[in-house]
């Protein structure tokens, strides 16, 4: 154990003291936060350009019903000639000007033509479509003898406030929030297992090709070297995650403080609705959306999720790093690793793809259950299911199987590692690896 501890210390300190580690640990989160802040600020302050839409309505029914918006101005051409207006539009070459041709049989065909000198934004086209659809709908409803005003009054707009029944009582719950967290965790665990497992493999290949490993093996056993390297690099990744969590919690505290101030502003805006009309109503609506987002975030048990994440990160890392160590010991360079990499990453890749189709739609189904039990797939599958709620016995069984999977994988990897680490100049095959496994110590 003392020798393993020395190897762990060497692997850990040699990586933690690197400038690259410090930069990625502290600067990367700040860069991401800065990027999101810039995006949010730009989105809040950006204004869509004003677009003018000239309308030639051959039906004579829709043009008067096209109401202007904050970004689109509809201008009806009473006696406009289509060919002349097309040429005029082309000569002007204005990016924010369009020509809308409404045919006489639009109520039957429900097709119109929109001309512009470039490709209009999706928002402009969608707004024009929405205005036309509402106008046609109102005309058809009126022709059917239905009062449009009465119909609009009985229009429903249901908002679901999800509640989860627990042993401690009711608590707020959001499927969209759970889906967002699952999406993030699936990506994070897939990337991290691959990145840190690859670091183990590259480190072993470097020591093997430089023949340093021959000197190290004279002092320690191959199993001790492999475990020391795996645990040491794993602790580097764990340190990085914990620092990211601390930074995230600090930033969350700042965000909560800002949102508390935002709620005070919202109450003030509510009192101004009667005085300021629609403008104030729209501003309050945007603040309501922010409040809903914050309420969704508060309904997520991040402490529980982070704890489970660390357990499955460590378990998944130990399994896959043992496999990566086995591959690194068997080859002389990184090029030769390709034939062994696909079978290793395939379980993670398949589970990652299924997480966005099957598992999020049916997190308690049989496919989700079995994927969260198999040690090679459970690190991704269980983290996808956790935000949706997993029975304790399933979580406990999955962790036990993950530990057993690690012990079995380490046993197989260690038997191949002890032979492969001293093999040079020969490209290994799967058959060769089986022989190495059966060699007696």
Residue 356 lies in a domain: yes
pLDDT band at 259 (very low <50, low <70, confident <90, very high): low
As a whole number, mean pLDDT of residues 158-186 equals 60
Question: What's 300-334 look like in SS3?
Answer: CCHHHHHHHHHHHHHHHHHHHHHHHHHHHHHCCCH
pLDDT band at 279 (very low <50, low <70, confident <90, very high): very low
Given 96, 129, 147, the domain boundary residue is 147
As a whole number, mean pLDDT of residues 41-63 equals 79
Instruction: Quote the pLDDT of residue 136.
Output: 87
Instruction: Quote the pLDDT of residue 209.
Output: 79
Assess whether pLDDT exceeds 80 at residue 262. no
Assess whether pLDDT exceeds 80 at residue 366. yes
Residue 125 lies in a domain: yes
Q: Which two tokens stand for residue 18?
A: 């690197």
Percent of the chain with pLDDT over 90: 3
Instruction: Determine if residue 436 is left, alpha or beta; phi over 0 gives left, psi from -120 to 50 gives alpha, anything else beta.
Output: alpha
pLDDT band at 273 (very low <50, low <70, confident <90, very high): very low
Given 147, 163, 192, the domain boundary residue is 147
DSSP 63: G
Residue 228 lies in a domain: yes
As a whole number, mean pLDDT of residues 136-161 equals 74
Specify whether 326 is located in the same domain as 417.
yes
Give, for 116, the enclosing helix (H) or strand (E).
strand 113-116
Instruction: Quote the pLDDT of residue 82.
Output: 83
113: closest CA among 137, 104, 122?
104
How wide is the angle at C-alpha 114 spanned by C-alphas 113 and 117, nearest 5°? 140
Q: Are 252 and 332 in contact (CB under 8 A)?
A: no
Q: How many domains does the chain divide into?
A: 2
Instruction: Quote the pLDDT of residue 185.
Output: 74
Specify whether 301 is located in the same domain as 203.
yes
The CA–CA distances, whole Å, from 187 to 6, 16, 47, 384 equal 33, 24, 33, 10
Specify whether 240 is located in the same domain as 307.
yes
Give, for 351, the enclosing helix (H) or strand (E).
helix 338-354
Site of tokens 């499955």: 312
Q: Rounded to 5 degrees, what are φ and ψ at 279?
A: -60, -45
Specify whether 229 is located in the same domain as 368.
yes
Instruction: Quote the pLDDT of residue 300.
Output: 62
Assess whether pLDDT exceeds 70 at residue 176. no
Please tell me the distance from the alpha carbon of residue 289 to that of residue 370, in angstroms, as a whole number: 37
As a whole number, mean pLDDT of residues 76-83 equals 82
Assess whether pLDDT exceeds 60 at residue 166. no
Specify whether 64 is located in the same domain as 206.
no
Q: At what angle do helices 175-209 and 222-270 cross, to 10 degrees?
A: 150
Specify whether 206 is located in the same domain as 136.
no
As a whole number, mean pLDDT of residues 168-181 equals 58
Give, for 148, the enclosing helix (H) or strand (E).
helix 148-153
Q: Rounded to 5 degrees, what are φ and ψ at 56?
A: -110, 105
Q: Considering the chain, what is the average pLDDT of its residues?
A: 76
Please tell me the distance from the alpha carbon of residue 338 to that of residue 234, in angstroms, as a whole number: 23
Residue 154 lies in a domain: no
Please tell me the distance from the alpha carbon of residue 237 to that of residue 314, in angstroms, as a whole number: 9
- What is the CATH number for 118? 3.40.190.10
Instruction: Quote the pLDDT of residue 298.
Output: 57
Specify whether 104 is located in the same domain as 182.
no
Residue 30 lies in a domain: no
* pTM, two decimal places: 0.64
Residue 75 lies in a domain: yes
Residue 425 lies in a domain: yes
Specify whether 227 is located in the same domain as 374.
yes
Specify whether 119 is located in the same domain as 194.
no
Specify whether 193 is located in the same domain as 251.
yes
Structural domain range at position 61:
51-147
Assess whether pLDDT exceeds 80 at residue 218. no
How wide is the angle at C-alpha 398 spanned by C-alphas 397 and 403, nearest 5°? 100
pLDDT single digits (tens) 405-429: 988 888 888 888 878 777 777 777 7
Q: At what angle do helices 28-45 and 222-270 cross, to 10 degrees?
A: 20
Specify whether 91 is located in the same domain as 178.
no
Q: Rounded to 5 degrees, what are φ and ψ at 247?
A: -65, -40
Residue 346 lies in a domain: yes
Specify whether 114 is located in the same domain as 179.
no
């Amino acid at each position: 154990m003392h020798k393993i501890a020395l190897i762990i210390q060497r692997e850990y300190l040699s990586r933690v003291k690197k400038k690259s580690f410090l930069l990625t640990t502290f600067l990367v989160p700040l860069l991401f936060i800065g990027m999101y802040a810039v995006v949010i600020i730009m989105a809040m302050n950006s204004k869509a350009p004003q677009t003018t839409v000239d309308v030639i309505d051959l039906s004579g029914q829709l043009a008067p019903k096209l109401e202007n918006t904050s970004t689109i101005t509809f201008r009806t051409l009473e006696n406009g000639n289509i060919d002349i207006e097309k040429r005029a539009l082309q000569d002007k070459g204005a990016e924010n000007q369009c020509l809308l041709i409404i045919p006489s049989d639009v109520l039957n065909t429900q097709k119109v033509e929109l001309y512009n000198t470039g490709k209009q934004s999706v928002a402009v086209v969608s707004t024009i479509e929405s205005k036309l659809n509402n106008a046609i709908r109102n005309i058809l409803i009126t022709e059917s003898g239905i009062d449009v005003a009465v119909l609009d009054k009985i229009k429903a707009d249901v908002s679901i406030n999800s509640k989860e029944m627990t042993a401690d009582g009711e608590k707020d719950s959001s499927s969209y929030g759970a889906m967002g967290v699952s999406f993030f965790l699936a990506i994070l665990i897939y990337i991290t297992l691959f990145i840190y497992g690859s670091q183990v493999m590259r480190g072993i290949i470097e020591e093997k090709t430089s023949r340093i490993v021959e000197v190290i093996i004279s002092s320690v056993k191959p199993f001790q070297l492999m475990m020391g390297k795996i645990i040491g690099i794993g602790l580097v990744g764990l340190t990085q995650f914990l620092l990211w969590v601390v930074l995230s919690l600090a930033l969350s505290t700042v965000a909560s403080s800002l949102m508390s101030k935002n709620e005070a502003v919202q109450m003030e805006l509510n009192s101004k609705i009667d005085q300021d009309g629609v403008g104030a109503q729209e501003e309050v609506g945007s603040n309501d959306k922010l409040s809903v987002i914050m309420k969704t975030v508060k309904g997520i048990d991040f402490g529980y999720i982070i704890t489970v994440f660390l357990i499955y990160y460590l378990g998944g890392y130990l399994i896959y790093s043992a496999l990566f160590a086995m591959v690194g010991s068997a080859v002389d360079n990184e090029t030769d690793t390709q034939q062994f990499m696909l079978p290793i990453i395939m379980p993670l890749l398949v589970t990652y793809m299924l997480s966005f189709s099957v598992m999020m739609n049916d997190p308690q189904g049989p496919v989700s259950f079995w994927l969260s039990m198999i040690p090679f797939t459970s690190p991704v599958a269980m983290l996808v299911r956790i935000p949706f709620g997993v029975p304790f016995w399933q979580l406990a069984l999955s962790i036990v199987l993950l530990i057993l999977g690690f012990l079995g994988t380490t046993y197989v990897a260690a038997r191949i590692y002890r032979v492969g680490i001293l093999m040079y100049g020969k490209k290994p095959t799967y058959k060769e690896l089986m022989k190495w496994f059966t060699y007696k110590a």
